[in-house]
Amino acid sequence: MLPRRSLYLGTLAVTAALAACGDDSVNNQITAPYTRVQCDANNAGLTLPAGFCALVVADLKSGPDAAAARHLVVTPAGDVFVAINNPRSTNPPFGIIGLRDSDGDGRADQQTQFSPNLGGSGLAWNNGVLYFGANDRVMRFQLPSGQMNPSDAGTVIVSGLPSTGDHVSKTVVFANAQTLLVNIGSASNACQVANRQLHSPGQNPCPELPIRAGVWAFNPSGSNLAPSDGRHYATGYRNLVALAWNPNTNQLFGVQHGRDMLFENWPENFDVNDDAEKPAEEFVRITDGSNNGWPYCYFDAVEQHKKVLAPEYGGNGVITSGSGIDCSTFNQPLATFGAHWAPNGITFYTGSQFPAKYRNGAFIALHGSWNRSKRVGQQVVFIPFKDGKPSGPMEEIVGGWMLSPDQVEVWGRPVAVFQMPDGSLLISDDGGKKVWRLSYKG
């Protein structure tokens, strides 16, 4: 069992994360029988609540081209496509893997590869077309029904997207058939003059905001567009790898990864415990034109339970305004996760295989921390929803990726979740290089 973690709701601090699904024409509204699914012995090392079981759909780590599985989608035919991204690798692999389970046992027995050497994180599906969010562009591939390889070499929708600095992954989400939303993460931690350096002040206004740290809307039917051809949908979001359109409310949700290095860069105001526990990862509803306040403010879910002024702009961990900035005016979170949990994926559950309490709630993949002495995250959790917002405590659904009781090492890092035709869930894992399947047997 992983360590207990808290979720607070309403006026308290809460915790969350997300990543992509689409509207009814795009996402997981598909049905097909999978009558032969047999879970792995001991759930292949994962820990699950009673009634759930897991199996490895595909192990992608064999051979020289170990594939870091990021976001994934399922077609109406039941085929699975997985985005591959190894941005720090000297020899990144192909961009997309196709997986097919031809005999219905839950395990992929056929595999394809295409879009070579174009790493990326984002995938979306709409009317026979696969959309791929590579690090520097968005592409679409025609995939006729029943085929695992595209019928074309791919069309570039938009190229020249910022792909340097701290945050390069792109998530792609359909708001409707005419609007494809794309996150573009910030190039820096807190928009300092010198990124991540001791006492370097923040730039005001932050020059990144017109071109990064937000969400842009593009025409999915376009081709060879420039970033300037997109519409700036929302701003002030440091990094939204977790991004999803809720089909129940027809609204965009996301989880902003909070900033790092409070203690390292501002030791006069913060200690190592502050560094580990602050700031929160913000689960937000993202409206057209919203501003979440990065880099000027961050959310303290430990002591202040509100957004406070960042130290780069004169903050001390307590005050909420200064330098012409008022943190109360920015978009506020519906919920928050703990610092550095790195929520990267979400799906809103519409299936019927799982018990009724999971219907319409959010399953969230936590990629987990990399910059804490003891790791946190590395799990899949569930948050119930009612009236378009979290309505109850977080429940851990999948754990066991931690290697040792001292929480120093992990053997897997979940990225995304996606609903399968039978109501089970797929989970991608870029640390263990696997795709998992979570089923409920009762």
Residue 199 lies in a domain: yes
Q: How many domains does the chain have?
A: 1
Residue 32 lies in a domain: no
Residue 130 lies in a domain: yes
Residue 19 lies in a domain: no
CATH number at residue 284: 2.120.10.30
Between CA 55 and CA 68 the distance in angstroms is 18
User: Which stretches of the chain score pLDDT less than 70?
Assistant: 1-35, 62-65, 87-94, 373
- pLDDT tens-place string over residues 276-328: 999 999 999 999 999 999 999 999 999 999 999 999 999 999 999 999 999 99
Between CA 367 and CA 269 the distance in angstroms is 29
Residue 6 lies in a domain: no
What was the pLDDT predicted at 18?
Answer: 31
What was the pLDDT predicted at 133?
Answer: 96
DSSP 3-state of 52: strand
Question: In a 10 Å sphere around its CB, with 0-12 CB exposed, 13-18 middle and 19+ buried, how is residue 50 labelled?
Answer: exposed
**Category of 273 on φ-ψ map: left (φ > 0), alpha (ψ -120 to 50) or beta:** alpha
Tokens representing 5? 């973690």
Residue 211 lies in a domain: yes
Residue 398 lies in a domain: yes
- pLDDT tens-place string over residues 105-129: 999 999 999 987 788 999 999 999 9
What was the pLDDT predicted at 20?
Answer: 34
* Structural domain range at position 336: 41-440
Residue 287 lies in a domain: yes
Comparing C-alpha atoms, which of 387, 424, 401, 429 is closest to residue 10?
A: 387
What was the pLDDT predicted at 88?
Answer: 57
